[in-house]
Chain A
Amino acid sequence: MHRYILRRLFLLIPVMFGVSLVVFTIMFFTPGDPAKLMLGERAPEAEVAALRAQMGLDDPFPVQFGRFIYNAVRGDLGRSLVTRRPVFQELYARFPATLQLAAAGVLVAVVMGIPIGILSATRQYSAFDAASMGIALVGVSMPNFWQGMMMILLFSVTLGVFPSSGYGTIRHLVMPALTIGTSTAAIITRMTRSSMLEVVRQDYIRTARAKGLSESVVINRHALKNALIPIVTVIGLQFGYLLGGAVLTESIFSWPGVGRLMVDAIRQKDYPVVQGGVLLLALTFSVVNLGVDILYAYIDPRIKAQYK
């Protein structure tokens, strides 16, 4: 198990190298001169050329990429072209907000999705099942930005219970977390339901019932743990997605996260920030997935046996 984790961590190196190469290449061939961008459109040609030379922008691609990797390994992701602050610091300042929002969103989704999914599965075709599946369908279909705006309209403008923007307290967190958690909750509900329906038909559930166990023990102890693998997979993917994909929600609620930072950076052609941001999100996504894979081993001993 430890060896497996070590090997997986080691595998992060080629993954991150690959991501770096792709991102760097795209940014390299994107039109627009960073030096000109920094000095402004009307800057004299000579000054721009001097800055280009100073920044090493005239070097061939492999040299520039090599320099980027060399620096990145030492934790130096360059400086923002706009704020002139180190990219690392920019990301470091924003990452906790993103992490907080993603974690809160997933928490909301898990707390709602798993119990509703279980109840739906154990009462298949009941009114509760039909209602929760209907609501789940609305939940996945509803666009984030629309839901966010509607919530602001209702809870901030009309009722005035939650602030429409800002960051720092639980009250600020409620609406953004519900907004990004809704679709994830819907996905988890549906996955839990179908996975449970699959599991409760298995022979070992009949064995558990034949022992005289109560229905709650049969469901929670015997069925749920077996149903958990696909559910955990979805949670992991959604968590990774929320870490990088909460851009719209962050924008609507002025949430100071990495997503918004990157959108701004793309708009301003602040390519070091874009590069750094993508690397950070790729890294967190990989780490979350590793966490999910490790979790599998704790859920299913057959998977653990494969992690040699």
Chain B
Amino acid sequence: MAERLLEIENLRVEYHTDDGVVTAVDNLKLHLNKGQTLGLVGETGAGKTTTALSIMRLVPAPPGRIVSGTVRFRDEDLLKKRIDDIKKIRGNKISMIFQDPMTSLNPVLTIGFQIEEAVMLHQGLDRKAARRRAAEMLRLVGIPAEREGDYPHEFSGGMRQRVGIAMALSCNPELLIADEPTTALDVTIQAQVLELMKRLREQFSTSMLLITHDLGVVAEVCDHVAIMYAGTIVEYADVTTLFTNPRHPYTRGLFGSIPSLDEEVTRLKPITGLMPDPTALPSGCRFHPRCPMAGEICSSRIPQVTELDNDHSVHCMIYEGLVPGYEE
């Protein structure tokens, strides 16, 4: 069995707002093996970013609070570590690429310096060596090293995301968390950036947690996929299994909302309804109000995990035998 790099269990994160307590992540469980890429897929507001920030212990507090759970990275529970020890891991062993390259770089510092400071901090390099490292990283992501003295506003969005990638990989992390790294980019640039990340991930043999809502990106890059809905994982499988044999009604709904090239369809089949209001989550299975398969029990009982074959698990009453399933 492959070596576990990251394992999250029972994670619960709340935001305390004026409108009440929002449970952004609840009872979340997922794992990532060394050298692999896990796609974390879900709609906006499903809690993907909160999950990522929890790993880094960057959930803004207040209003956020990690209530319970474990985040095991190698053999250590990150949630139990002192914040000073976490700072030695951030940007070093685990680093992060953020969604919006237009706002995630500091506008008053040169891009070279923003790469160098992490390298100086974690690798103990002096200014000169750090500058060489920054130049090397810039070259790797396709930016001429001469531009290290330029400021973020002098680059396009795609270039800035390349800088973000260079920054994240500069200390050769074991785990790279990419939070919708291509969402804010033009479609043509998306493919380039994705290709670059894929290449560098292999070159640096970094494991990756890729957050996205784009199933096309998942198919392109990921080994495993975790489908997230309203703060929890509803289905986890390797990418081939998930695409050929999705089990959870939500996952099936996601695939139903993608147009197929083979079929003659005039309208897409969207999942009916909207994501639930996070301050007033439905009882029982979070998905039951929108689920075409829901039975009576779904509104009162929280579904337990069902392990199917081949590292494929699903949280659904159907597979617990409590609700009639699909006719295969």
Contacts and interface: CB of A to CB of B under 8 A. Distances in A.
A214 B104 contact: no
Contact of A204 (B86, B104, B117): B104
Contact of B103 (A202, A210, A221): A202
B104 A301 contact: no
A203 interface: yes
Interface in A126-172: none
Contact of A212 (B90, B154, B164): B90
A67 interface: no
Contacts of B89: 212
Contacts of A221: 109, 117
Contact of B106 (A204, A210, A214): A204
A206 B98 CA distance: 9
A226 B92 contact: no
B56 interface: yes
Contacts of A213: 87, 91, 117-118, 121
Contacts of B167: 207, 211
B91 A204 contact: no
A206 B103 CA distance: 10
B153 interface: yes
Contacts of A226: 106-108
A230 to B, nearest CB: 14
10 contacts: A206-B104, A207-B106, A211-B91, A212-B92, A213-B87, A217-B117, A222-B106, A226-B106, A301-B153, A302-B107
Interface in B146-169: 151, 153-154, 164, 167
Given A210-B90, A210-B91, A211-B121, A302 B106 contact: no
Interface in A194-209: 202-204, 206-209
Given A206-B58, A302-B153, A305-B153, A211 B107 contact: no
A8 interface: no
Nearest to A305: B153
A208 B87 CA distance: 11
B117 A210 contact: no
B316 interface: no
Given A212-B88, A212-B92, A203 B98 contact: yes
Interface string B72-101: 000000000000001111111001101010
Nearest to A124: B62
B122 interface: yes
Contacts of A203: 98, 100, 103-104
A43 B107 CA distance: 70
B105 interface: yes
Interface residues of A, number: 22
Contacts of A302: 107, 151, 153
Interface string A169-190: 0000000000000000000000
B108 A301 contact: yes
- For the residues of A in contact with B, the DSSP-based class is helix
A211 B108 contact: no
A221 B109 CA distance: 9
Given A203-B100, A203-B103, A301-B151, A214 B108 contact: no
A212 B86 CA distance: 8
A204 B103 contact: yes
B172 to A, nearest CB: 14
B298 to A, nearest CB: 37
Contacts of A217: 117
A299 interface: yes
Contact of A210 (B58, B100, B109): B58
A302 B154 CA distance: 9
Of listed B89, B92, B108, B153, residue having the most chain A CB within 10 A: B108
A306 B89 CA distance: 39
Nearest to B151: A301
A214 B109 CA distance: 17
Contact of B108 (A207, A209, A212, A299): A299
Interface string A218-253: 000110011000000000000000000000000000
A263 B103 CA distance: 51
Contacts of B121: 211-213
B118 A211 contact: yes
B24 to A, nearest CB: 16
A222 B153 CA distance: 16
A217 B96 CA distance: 19
B66 to A, nearest CB: 15
Contacts of A206: 58, 98, 104
A58 interface: no
A211 B90 contact: yes
A212 B167 CA distance: 12
Nearest to B110: A301
Contacts of A222: 106, 109
Contacts of B118: 211-213
A208 B106 contact: yes
Given A207-B96, A226-B107, 11 more contacts: A202-B103, A206-B98, A208-B106, A209-B90, A210-B90, A211-B121, A212-B86, A212-B90, A212-B91, A212-B92, A213-B117
A301 B107 contact: yes
A300 interface: yes
Interface string B107-135: 11100000001100110000000000000
Interface string A277-308: 00000000000000000000001111001000
A70 B103 CA distance: 54
A56 B86 CA distance: 81
Given A204-B106, A301-B151, A214 B87 contact: yes
